[in-house]
C-alpha cells in the first residue's frame, strides 16, 4: 500500500509539472544520467512508462555495461528472462530472440497484450502453485506456501544456449542455479537487486565471476545494485 501511494503521488507530481510546462514529456537522453533519472522518478512502478524511457529497471551502470556488451556480441543474440517488464521491451530493440517468463498473471497478461505482434518475443505466464512443502519456494514476503518449480524449470522448455539470461523475478536463487549451465560461451547473466543477503550467498555459491554495478537506478530515490555474472 505504501508503494502504491508513493507511486501515485509521484505520478501526480509528474503530470502537474508537465501540465505547467516545468517538465517536458520527453525524457532527456540516458547519457545525461542525472537529468534522465530525475525525469524517471515520476514513472516509478510503471513498466510501460519506463519502456518509453528506453531503460530496463537495472542500475544505470549495469544498463551501460550490458548495452555495450550487446552491441559487440555476434548476432543472433538469444535471451532468456525471468521476470518481464521494461527490460523485455528494451532487450527487443537490441537482441534477436527473447524468451520471457512471468509469474504474475495480471501483469503477464498486460505485457502479452502490449507485446502482441512482436515476433521475436515469446512471453509465458507460469503462476506458482499452492504447496505446503514447495520444491522451489520464494523468500519474498507474502509468497509462503507457493511452489515456483515450474516457473524456474521453464527454461528447460526452450532448446539451445542463451547469450544473456536476466534474473529479475521470483525464486532467483533457484533460477540462477538452473540457468548458469545454459549460457553460451562468453554469455552473461544479469542478476538484479543483488545486494540482498540471500542473493549475495547464492551468487557466491554459483562459481560464477561477479561484476557489481551499484548506484543510481531509474525511478528509484535510493541506490540499488545489479550484478553481471560470467563463467571463468
Radius of gyration of the chain measured on its C-alpha atoms: 18
In a domain, 52, yes or no: no
Three-class HEC string of 13-61:
HHHHHHHCCCCCCCCCCCCCHHHHHHHHHHHCCCHHHHHHCCCCCCCHH
Does 89 score more than 90 pLDDT? Answer: yes
For 217, list phi and psi in degrees, rounded to 5.
-135, 135
**Residue 188 structural domain:** 60-230
In a domain, 53, yes or no: no
C-alpha cell at 8: 501515485
Q: Which of 20-29, 42-51, 72-81, 156-165 has the lowest mean pLDDT?
A: 20-29
The answer on 17 and 76 residing in a single domain is no
Average model confidence (pLDDT) for the chain? 91
CATH number, domain of 102, equals 3.40.50.150
At 48-75, the pLDDT tens digits run 888 899 999 999 999 999 999 999 999 9
At 102-157, the pLDDT tens digits run 999 999 999 999 999 999 999 999 999 999 999 999 988 889 999 999 999 999 99
Number of domains in the chain: 2
The answer on 128 and 200 residing in a single domain is yes
- Note the pTM of the prediction, 2 decimals: 0.89
Q: Distance between CA atoms of 110 and 4, rounded to whole angstroms? A: 18
Does 13 score more than 80 pLDDT? Answer: no
Q: Distance between CA atoms of 146 and 97, rounded to whole angstroms? A: 30
Does 2 score more than 70 pLDDT? Answer: no
Does 10 score more than 60 pLDDT? Answer: no
Whole-number Cα distances in Å, 36 to 41, 179, 214, 217:
9, 32, 17, 10
Amino acid at each position: 500500500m505504501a508503494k502504491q501511494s508513493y507511486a501515485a503521488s509521484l505520478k501526480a507530481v509528474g503530470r502537474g509539472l508537465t501540465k505547467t510546462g516545468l517538465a517536458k514529456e520527453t525524457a532527456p537522453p540516458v547519457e545525461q544520467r542525472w537529468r534522465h533519472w530525475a525525469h524517471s522518478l515520476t514513472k516509478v512502478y510503471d513498466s510501460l512508462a519506463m519502456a518509453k524511457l528506453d531503460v530496463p529497471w537495472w542500475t544505470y551502470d549495469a544498463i551501460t555495461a550490458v548495452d555495450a556488451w550487446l552491441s559487440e556480441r555476434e548476432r543472433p543474440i538469444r535471451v532468456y528472462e525471468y521476470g518481464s517488464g521494461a527490460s523485455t521491451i528494451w532487450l527487443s530493440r537490441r537482441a534477436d530472440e527473447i524468451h520471457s517468463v512471468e509469474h504474475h498473471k495480471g501483469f503477464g497478461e498486460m505485457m502479452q497484450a502490449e507485446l502482441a505482434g512482436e515476433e521475436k518475443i515469446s512471453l509465458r505466464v507460469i503462476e506458482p502453485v499452492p504447496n505446503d512443502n514447495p520444491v522451489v519456494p520464494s523468500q519474498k514476503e507474502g509468497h509462503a506456501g507457493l511452489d515456483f518449480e515450474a516457473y524456474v524449470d521453464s527454461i528447460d522448455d526452450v532448446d539451445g544456449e542463451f547469450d544473456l539470461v536476466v534474473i529479475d523475478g521470483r525464486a532467483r536463487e533457484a533460477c540462477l542455479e538452473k540457468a548458469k549451465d545454459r549460457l553460451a560461451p562468453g554469455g552473461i547473466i544479469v542478476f538484479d537487486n543483488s545486494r540482498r543477503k540471500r542473493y549475495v550467498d547464492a551468487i557466491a555459491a554459483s562459481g560464477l565471476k561477479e561484476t557489481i554495478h551499484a548506484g543510481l537506478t531509474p525511478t528509484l530515490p535510493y541506490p540499488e545494485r545489479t550484478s553481471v555474472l560470467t563463467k571463468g
